[in-house]
Amino acid sequence: MDIDRFIADCIAASQETDAQAAINDVLARAVSEPAAVLAALGEPDKAGLNVLLSSPTLTIFAATWTPQMNLMPHNHLMWANIGIYTGREDNIFWKRTPEGIKAFGAEALFAKDTTMLREDAVHSVTNPLQRFTGGIHIYGGDFFDTRRSQWNPETLEEEPSDGARIRDIFQRENERLGL
């Protein structure tokens, strides 16, 4: 996998009428060859966000999850595409109700799988495996400079979130495991 070519293809696809679907096609082609993605990005060995592109209209990063890592329910306020190149990512989907949020669906993503999340999606993420998981995440906006929400996993109370808070969660996970 040529990272620069992948980024250029995503940027070109972002100009299509249905940018999310066009970019998902690029992502699906990339993760269809997990060994090539691993050769380009390296084998995951800690939690992190390896930013490949950050712009006002498009953010691309490789997210790596420690074994059995969890991320509370959160939204993005922009569309998102996720493609797994190693391991597994389990998503629980939530919907807003008058009382807060309520789980309503789930999707398990394995290596070579992709999914597309709408702008209003709320999901929580788990790596259920005893090994690291790696996925390429692509967002239709500036992931790191967008104020959004996360929900306390125990009380489901809505709290503010942004890119810095998400990075802190990944860093704390590394500290928890002594990485």
Q: What is the pLDDT of residue 178?
A: 84
Q: What is the pLDDT of residue 179?
A: 82
| Mean pLDDT along residues 122-133 | 97
Residues 126, 85 contacting (CB under 8 angstroms): no
Query: Domain range holding 45?
Result: 3-176
Query: DSSP states of the chain as a string?
Result: --HHHHHHHHHHHTTSTTHHHHHHHHHHHHHTSHHHHHHHH----S-EEEEEEE-SS-EEEEEEE-TT-EEEEEE-SS-EEEEEEESEEEEEEEEEETTEEEEEEEEEEETT-EEEE-TT-EEEEE--SSS-EEEEEEESS-GGG--EEEE-TTT--EEEE-HHHHHHHHHHHHHHTT-
pLDDT of 69 above 80: yes
**Could you give the CA distance from residue 174 to residue 179 in angstroms, rounded to a whole number?**
5
pLDDT of 172 above 90: no
Q: What is the pLDDT of residue 107?
A: 98
pLDDT of 39 above 80: yes
**Could you give the CA distance from residue 80 to residue 59 in angstroms, rounded to a whole number?**
9
pLDDT above 70: percentage of residues in the chain: 100
Q: What is the pLDDT of residue 177?
A: 83
pTM of the complete model: 0.94
pLDDT of 105 above 90: yes
pLDDT of 27 above 80: yes
Supply the CATH number for residue 115's domain.
2.60.120.10
Least confident among 20-24, 54-58, 64-68, 163-167: 163-167
Find, among 125, 120, 143, 131, the residue nearest to 52 by Cα.
Answer: 143
- CB neighbours of 101 closer than 8 A, spacing ≥ 6? 73, 94, 95, 122, 151, 156, 158
Domain count, the chain: 1
Q: What is the pLDDT of residue 48?
A: 95
pLDDT of 19 above 80: yes
Q: What is the pLDDT of residue 169?
A: 84
pLDDT above 90: percentage of residues in the chain: 89
pLDDT of 162 above 80: no
- Average pLDDT value for the chain: 96
| Mean pLDDT along residues 147-171 | 89
